[in-house]
């Protein structure tokens, strides 16, 4: 395609300039897509290679700077194609993105995060808007366990009782506050989160071991939760809905808060899930006792401060850091508690469910989001390169510490060798280390206990299965709680007795005639959180989707990063109770319905009948 141009450049009668020609080298399957791309690009009417042989074209037009040409044109965006910030309008604006590939933007962001990280951090229990003293503990950086990120003081039983007493007194007034006013406070909180973006991201990186891209995504999710639930609050808890019925009677359906919710959040999404639980409960008119994960108390404390700054009354939002076995257990057992929202392990959710059933008082609501044995099914029509990219992201992003993470990769026999070859090669390119470094792909596990639990699983299962590949840890990982991404091939699902929360991927091969059987076998594990499908056969994707029991199903993409209001997140069975967080049915679970039937004929009847048209 470039032969004429090449001759023009090197010919002694022309420019006589050295010209390097490169040629891709590889197998047919590797080079054919490349050739097609070149044909499409260079064969286009706008291609430089195409235009240079067109004698009717002016040379100045051919060599014109495309940026200058674009600037000179009077291009206007299409009115029906919204900007990124407006894709959810008219309901809400989108959270701001972070253009990390832009070096100048990234350099500024990292500099601001570094300055934020240098600040001394502290946190305390907050009850009734007041700081409560307690036992002091340290929060450490999982990437460098000898580095103390900050200190916090824990709440005690007395603080829990005090918070409950204030919450009982203040919740009715909050519930009577118009839903639009509560929503306005959450919208303001979202704006404050955006204004303090670099600070919040810096704490996520230091305290939770999040990589910079993960911290950015977490901040965006938290902001989206606040704005989405603000909109949903007005829809569900605003004006009562008028129901059909006989004339002379007005029947309406409304919603109000249940009372007091205990929100127990995890360390793996210490800002987003913490914010989502608290925002949903507050938006629905409830008072909240927020109990964060011990490992990530500092980031949760900062979130509470911003929520209080936004206008949430101190009497309806109480921050109670400490051990779940004491603080959480005491709060849950109290008969004044109307409900619990918990994201954590299946075992923890079971204990809470039993405690709620045993306690006195009103029957309490439980909203649980737990773990999963998440599988991806790949058939022989899938594109191996895409499968590998999505597998790496789904398995090792956040060091595998996502409840949505891929745990089991089911490969059709015909495609398995190629996928495994590419997968192990890609793993060699993963960068493991300091999460504050933008180049880092995999950060640390949250603590030594988590790392040791992962290591024990790999040691145990390797006696019955084959470790295909395990990344090497760099020297810089010695000071943190890192575990290397690991791939293990198994021949039976019986080896997967429980969820392993870390960067460990299991692979299992299947024959094409056994696909339905293996989907059923995964369903029988009892979990139902996420599932992936890679196939270019639409009917097969539909069949697997209908057969699967997963709550979130992803086709020809990765299995993580559910977006609020776009991919409502949650599972069933051992993976949780539902409803889905970030979805239209979530907020009603935090409230109770009531109906009002008014016999309007007693005061004159249905006057609207007098104004009916012919």
Which sequence positions are flagged as catalytic? 369, 403
CA angle 158, 159, 162 (to 5 degrees): 85
What is the distance between the alpha carbons of residues 360 and 331, in angstroms, rounded to a whole number?
Answer: 13
User: Which of 144, 96, 140, 97 lies closest to 437 in space, CA to CA?
Assistant: 144
Runs of H (alpha helix) within 58-156 = 59-62, 66-72, 103-117
CB atoms within 10 A of CB 135: 10
List CB contacts of 119: < 8 A, sequence separation 6 or more: none
The phi-psi region of residue 106 (left if phi > 0; otherwise alpha if psi is between -120 and 50; otherwise beta) is: alpha
Helix (H) or strand (E) holding 342: strand 339-343
Q: Are 394 and 405 in contact (CB under 8 A)?
A: yes
Cα 284 to its chain centre, rounded Å, is 22
Helix (H) or strand (E) holding 366: strand 365-369
Are the CB atoms for 228 and 580 separated by under 8 Å? no
Separation of alpha carbons 213 and 205, rounded Å: 10
In angstroms, the CA 588 to CA 604 distance is 35
What secondary structure does DSSP assign to 246-300, as a single string? -TT-EEEEEEEE-SEEEEE--SSSTTHHHHHHHHHHHHTT-EEEEE--GGGHHHH
Output helix, strand, coil percentages for the chain, rounded to the nearest 5.
Answer: 45, 20, 40
Backbone angles phi, psi at 427, to 5 degrees: -60, -30
Q: Is 187 helix (H, G, I), strand (E, B) or coil?
A: helix
For residue 88, report the phi and psi dihedrals to the nearest 5 degrees.
Answer: -105, 10
In terms of Cα–Cα distance, which of 300, 283, 288, 313 is closest to 184?
283
The b/e string for 243-254 (b: 16+ C-beta within 10 A; e otherwise) is eeeeeeebeeeb
d(CA 244, CA 238): 19
How are beta strands 317-319 and 287-291 bridged, if at all? parallel
d(CA 525, CA 371): 12
First to last CA, the chain: 75
Q: How far is CA 433 from the centre of its chain?
A: 22
Task: Residue 345: count other Cβ atoms within 10 Å of its Cβ.
Answer: 16
CA atoms of 322 and 125, how far apart (whole Å): 9
> Residue 555 and residue 570: Cα distance in Å, rounded?
17
What is the spatial distance between Cα 305 and Cα 93, in angstroms, rounded to a whole number?
23
Place of tokens 């949250």: 446
* Cα 167 from Cα 277, distance rounded (Å): 17
């Amino acid at each position: 395609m470039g032969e004429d141009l090449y001759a023009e450049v090197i010919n002694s009668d022309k420019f006589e300039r050295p010209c390097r020609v490169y040629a891709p080298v590889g197998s047919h399957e590797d080079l054919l897509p490349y050739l097609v791309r070149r044909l499409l690009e260079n064969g286009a009417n706008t291609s430089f290679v195409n235009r240079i042989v067109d004698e009717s074209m002016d040379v100045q037009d051919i060599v014109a700077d495309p940026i200058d040409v674009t600037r000179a044109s009077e291009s206007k965006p299409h009115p029906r194609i919204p900007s990124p910030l407006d894709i959810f309008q008219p309901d809400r604006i989108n959270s701001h993105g972070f253009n990390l590939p832009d070096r100048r933007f990234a350099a500024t962001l990292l500099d601001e995060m570094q300055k934020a990280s240098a600040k001394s951090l502290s946190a305390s229990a907050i009850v009734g808007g007041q700081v409560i003293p307690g036992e002091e503990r340290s929060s450490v950086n999982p990437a460098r366990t000898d580095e103390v990120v900050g200190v916090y003081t824990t709440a005690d039983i007395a603080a829990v009782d005090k918070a409950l007493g204030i919450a009982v007194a203040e919740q009715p007034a909050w519930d009577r506050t118009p839903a639009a006013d509560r929503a306005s406070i959450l919208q303001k909180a979202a704006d404050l989160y955006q204004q303090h973006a670099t600070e919040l991201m810096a704490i996520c990186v230091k305290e939770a071991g999040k990589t910079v891209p993960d911290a950015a995504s977490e901040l965006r999710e938290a902001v989206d939760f606040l704005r989405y639930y603000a909109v949903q609050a007005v829809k569900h808890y605003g004006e009562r809905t008028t129901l059909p019925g006989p004339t002379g009677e007005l029947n309406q359906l409304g919603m109000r808060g249940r009372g007091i919710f205990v929100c127990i959040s995890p360390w793996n999404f210490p800002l987003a899930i913490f914010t989502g639980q608290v925002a949903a409960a507050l938006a629905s008119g409830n008072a909240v006792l927020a109990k964060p994960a011990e490992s990530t108390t500092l980031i949760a404390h900062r979130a509470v401060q911003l929520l209080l700054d936004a206008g949430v009354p101190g009497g309806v939002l109480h921050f109670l850091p400490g051990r779940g076995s004491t603080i959480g257990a005491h709060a849950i057992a109290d008969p004044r508690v109307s409900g619990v929202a918990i994201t954590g392990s299946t075992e923890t959710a079971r204990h809470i469910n039993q405690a709620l059933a045993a306690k006195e008082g009103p029957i309490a609501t439980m909203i649980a989001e737990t773990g999963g044995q998440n599988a991806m099914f790949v058939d022989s029509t899938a594109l191996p390169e895409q499968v590998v990219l999505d597998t790496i992201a789904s398995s090792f992003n956040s060091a595998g510490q996502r409840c949505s993470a891929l745990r089991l990769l089911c490969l059709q026999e015909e495609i398995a060798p190629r996928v495994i070859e590419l997968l192990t090669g890609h793993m060699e390119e993963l960068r493991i280390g300091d999460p504050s470094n933008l180049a880092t792909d995999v950060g640390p596990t949250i603590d030594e206990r988590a790392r040791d639990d992962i290591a024990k699983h790999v040691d145990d299962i390797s006696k019955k299965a084959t470790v295909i590949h395990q990344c090497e840890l760099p020297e810089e990982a010695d000071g943190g709680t890192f575990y290397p991404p690991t791939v293990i091939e198994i021949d039976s699902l019986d080896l997967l007795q429980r969820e392993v929360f870390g960067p460990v991927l299991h692979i299992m091969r299947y024959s094409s005639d056994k696909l339905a059987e293996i989907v059923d076998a995964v369903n029988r594990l009892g979990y139902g959180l996420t599932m992936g499908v890679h196939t270019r056969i639409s009917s097969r994707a539909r069949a697997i989707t209908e057969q699967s029991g997963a709550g979130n199903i992803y086709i020809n993409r990765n299995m993580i990063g559910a977006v609020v209001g776009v991919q409502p997140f949650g599972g069933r069975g051992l993976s949780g109770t539902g409803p889905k967080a970030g979805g239209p049915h979530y907020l009603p679970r935090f409230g109770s319905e009531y109906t009002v039937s008014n016999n309007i004929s007693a005061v004159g009847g249905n006057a609207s009948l007098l104004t009916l048209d012919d």
